[in-house]
């Protein structure tokens, strides 16, 4: 076919006549647009769809982007697949800076547009990739299908093909404010148009009513049969391991004051004081009939005046579960320091269950409960300098925007 059909596209009139430079531009752009090498980067759900798009069924190689590079220095396309958290944002920025220009980025998924499902009431998620790095193409979806990713890729190609020596590639700007004022203007203009349309529609409706056309039959809604569902009681689960009564009898041997926290015939919920917590768990673990050798989880709940620590234990050989609830009264501290102060303290289960190490670290950072003799009590999910304890009920964070109702 030759190059002839493309000539009019390549040669656009410029002052001083048509030049060969445009031709070079075209070739350069063509080369750039058809072999975009993406960086292997994905944080969450969207990354799996990005992976699918490079596998057998969808085959991103058709678009020249199958060469996923593990090093940013060899890539020129950054597909931001997945949520960007505040902890991840510096890494994203660093990766972008390490990619040599000309470089392009595609923001894949609702999370990278606006924070997606995590936009409101959330302290950890960056609301949109554009606040961290410049973005060329946004792809909506949660997650977008692989086809949508390809559509984005094609759009990016179009954009690249428009570059020229007079309109060279340059790094885009970040969104100016966190709440994206520039979209508000567009939204206001849109609302204005909508209002005009509504008014016009109202007039038209009035006219229609006062002067209906002949043989007009008013529309009658058909009532869709509402599905009815039966009321079914819950099937009780099969009892596993020992019955809760006999378990309670065993537990009573070790500390007579313990009480049942909640009546339940599947799981034994025990209520125990802070002082007896460790020794009770220790003796229940050693007891051959109880044999609580597996720690499912340690978690906590924040109430007004106390925390409730819940240690979920199980016997992996016998199958029964015992949940131990400990009420930890909040210490009195001055009101100003309350938000950043550890308010309670309890002994750690790490000497009995190594599994408790990470889980207690989570409780520590989320609630501000101190664990005595924990070997490594640092923040786990949050930054070291994070202020406050997110899962407390009175937690406030400047990043949170409440969901409008």
Partner 1 sequence: MSTNVLLPGFREAPLDEDFEEFYINMGPQHPSTHGALRLVLRLDGEKIIEVVPHLGYIHRGMEKQAEKLNYIQYIMMSDRQDYLTAIQNNLGVCLALEKGTKIGVPERAEYIRVILAELSRIASHLVFYACFGGDLGGQTVLLYGFKEREMIHDIFEEVTGSRLTTNFFRPGGSNKDIPDTFVPRVKALLKHLESALSDYDRLLTKNIAAMDRSVGVGVLSKEDAIAYGCSGPVLRASGVSYDVRKNDPYSIYASLDFKVPVFYNGDCYDRYLIRFEEMYESIKIIKQCIDKIPSGPYRSKEKPIFKLPNGSFYAATETAKGLYGTYVVSTGGNSPYRIHTRSPSFGNLAALNTMAKGQRLSDLVTILATIDPVIPEIDR
CB of 82 to partner 1, least distance (A): 7
Q: Give the binding-site size for partner 1 (rule: CB under 8 A).
A: 82
In a 13 Å sphere around the CA of 190, the CA atoms on its Cβ side amount to 6
Which of 166-174, 187-195, 243-251, 352-360 is the region at the interface with partner 1 (rule: CB under 8 A)?
352-360
The partner in contact with residue 211, picked from partner 1, ligand SF4, none with C-beta cut-offs of 5 to 8 angstroms by kind, is none
Decide: is 299 part of the binding site for partner 1 (CB under 8 A): yes
CB of 15 to ligand SF4, least distance (A): 47
CB of 116 to ligand SF4, least distance (A): 4
Nearest one of 46, 100, 37 to 68, comparing CA atoms: 37
Q: Binder to partner 1 among 5, 8, 15, 70 (CB under 8 A)?
A: 70
The partner in contact with residue 121, picked from partner 1, ligand SF4, none with C-beta cut-offs of 5 to 8 angstroms by kind, is partner 1
Q: Which two tokens stand for residue 138?
A: 């946004």
Decide: is 375 part of the binding site for ligand SF4 (CB under 6 A): no
CB of 279 to partner 1, least distance (A): 20
Q: Binder to partner 1 among 6, 120, 190, 208 (CB under 8 A)?
A: 120
Map residues 363-392 to x or -, x wherever contact with partner 1 holds by CB under 8 A: ---x--------xx-xxxxxx------xx-
Nearest one of 230, 96, 167, 178 to 400, comparing CA atoms: 178
Q: Binder to partner 1 among 102, 294, 338, 347 (CB under 8 A)?
A: 294
The partner in contact with residue 330, picked from ligand SF4, partner 1, none with C-beta cut-offs of 5 to 8 angstroms by kind, is none
Decide: is 296 part of the binding site for partner 1 (CB under 8 A): yes
Decide: is 143 part of the binding site for ligand SF4 (CB under 6 A): yes
Q: What is the CA radius of gyration of the chain?
A: 31
For 291, residues 6+ apart whose C-beta sits below 8 A from its C-beta are: 285, 315, 317, 318
Instruction: Report cis status (omega within 30 of 0) of the bond before 134.
Output: no
The partner in contact with residue 109, picked from ligand SF4, partner 1, none with C-beta cut-offs of 5 to 8 angstroms by kind, is ligand SF4
Map residues 167-206 to x or -, x wherever contact with partner 1 holds by CB under 8 A: ----------------------------------------
For 272, residues 6+ apart whose C-beta sits below 8 A from its C-beta are: 255, 258, 280, 324, 325, 326
Q: Which two tokens stand for residue 7?
A: 């000539």
> Nearest 5°: phi and psi at 277?
-50, -55
Find out whether 38 and 69 touch, Cβ atoms under 8 Å: yes
CB of 119 to ligand SF4, least distance (A): 10
Q: How far is CA 145 from CA 33, 58, 251, 261, 263, in A?
A: 22, 10, 54, 48, 47
CB of 151 to partner 1, least distance (A): 16
Which of 170-178, 217-225, 312-320, 333-341 is the region at the interface with partner 1 (rule: CB under 8 A)?
312-320
CA–CA gap between residue 126 and residue 54 (Å, rounded): 27
Q: How far is CA 84 from CA 120, 144, 151, in A?
A: 15, 16, 22
Q: What is the DSSP string of 296-322?
A: EEEEEEE-SSEEEEEEEEE-TTT--EE
CA–CA gap between residue 138 and residue 265 (Å, rounded): 52
Decide: is 267 part of the binding site for partner 1 (CB under 8 A): yes
Q: Binder to partner 1 among 11, 124, 148, 401 (CB under 8 A)?
A: 124
Q: Binder to partner 1 among 43, 246, 255, 283 (CB under 8 A)?
A: 43
Decide: is 302 part of the binding site for partner 1 (CB under 8 A): yes
Mapping DSSP to helix (H, G, I), strand (E, B) and coil, where does residue 264 land?
Answer: coil
For ligand SF4, the binding residues in 10-49 under the rule CB under 6 A are: 44-46
CA–CA gap between residue 26 and residue 147 (Å, rounded): 27
For ligand SF4, the binding residues in 75-134 under the rule CB under 6 A are: 82-83, 109-111, 116-117
CB of 109 to ligand SF4, least distance (A): 3
For 285, residues 6+ apart whose C-beta sits below 8 A from its C-beta are: 291, 292, 293, 313, 352
Q: Binder to partner 1 among 20, 191, 221, 234 (CB under 8 A)?
A: 234
CB of 47 to partner 1, least distance (A): 6
Mapping DSSP to helix (H, G, I), strand (E, B) and coil, where does residue 271 land?
Answer: strand
């Amino acid at each position: 076919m030759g190059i002839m059909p493309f000539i009019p596209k390549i040669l656009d009139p410029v002052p001083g006549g048509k030049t060969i430079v445009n031709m070079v531009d075209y070739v350069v752009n063509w080369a750039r647009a058809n072999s975009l090498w993406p960086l292997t980067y994905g944080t969450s759900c969207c990354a799996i769809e990005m992976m699918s798009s490079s596998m057998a069924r969808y085959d991103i190689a058709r678009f020249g982007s199958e060469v996923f590079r593990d090093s940013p220095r060899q890539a020129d396309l950054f597909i931001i697949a997945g949520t960007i958290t505040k902890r991840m944002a510096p890494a994203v920025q660093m990766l972008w800076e390490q990619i040599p220009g000309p470089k392009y980025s595609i923001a894949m998924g609702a999370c990278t547009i606006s924070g997606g499902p995590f936009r409101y009431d959330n302290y950890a998620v960056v609301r949109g990739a554009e606040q961290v790095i410049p973005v060329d193409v946004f792809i909506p979806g949660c997650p977008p299908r692989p086809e949508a990713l390809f559509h984005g890729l094609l759009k990016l190609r179009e954009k690249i093909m428009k570059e020229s020596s007079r309109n060279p590639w340059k790094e885009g700007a970040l969104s100016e404010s966190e709440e994206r004022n520039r979209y508000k203007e567009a939204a206001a203009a849109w609302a204005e148009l909508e209002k005009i349309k509504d008014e016009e529609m109202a007039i038209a409706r009035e006219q229609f009513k006062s002067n209906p056309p002949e043989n007009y039959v008013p529309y009658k809604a058909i009532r869709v049969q509402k599905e009815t569902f039966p009321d079914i009681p819950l099937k009780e689960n099969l009892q596993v391991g020992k019955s809760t009564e006999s378990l309670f009898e065993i537990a009573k041997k070790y500390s007579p004051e313990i009480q049942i926290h909640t009546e339940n015939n599947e799981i034994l919920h025990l209520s125990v004081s802070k002082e007896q917590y460790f020794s009770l768990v220790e003796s229940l673990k050693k007891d051959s009939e109880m044999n609580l050798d597996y720690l499912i989880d340690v978690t906590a709940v924040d109430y007004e005046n106390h925390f409730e620590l819940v240690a979920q234990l199980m016997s992996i050989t016998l199958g029964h579960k015992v949940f131990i609830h400990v009420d930890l009264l909040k210490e009195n501290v001055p009101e100003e320091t309350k938000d950043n102060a550890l308010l309670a303290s309890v002994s750690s289960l790490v000497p009995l269950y190594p599994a408790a190490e990470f889980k207690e670290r989570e409780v520590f950072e989320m609630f501000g409960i101190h664990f005595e003799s924990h070997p490594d009590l640092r923040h786990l999910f949050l930054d070291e300098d994070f202020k406050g304890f997110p899962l407390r009920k009175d937690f406030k964070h400047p990043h949170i925007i409440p969901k409008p109702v």
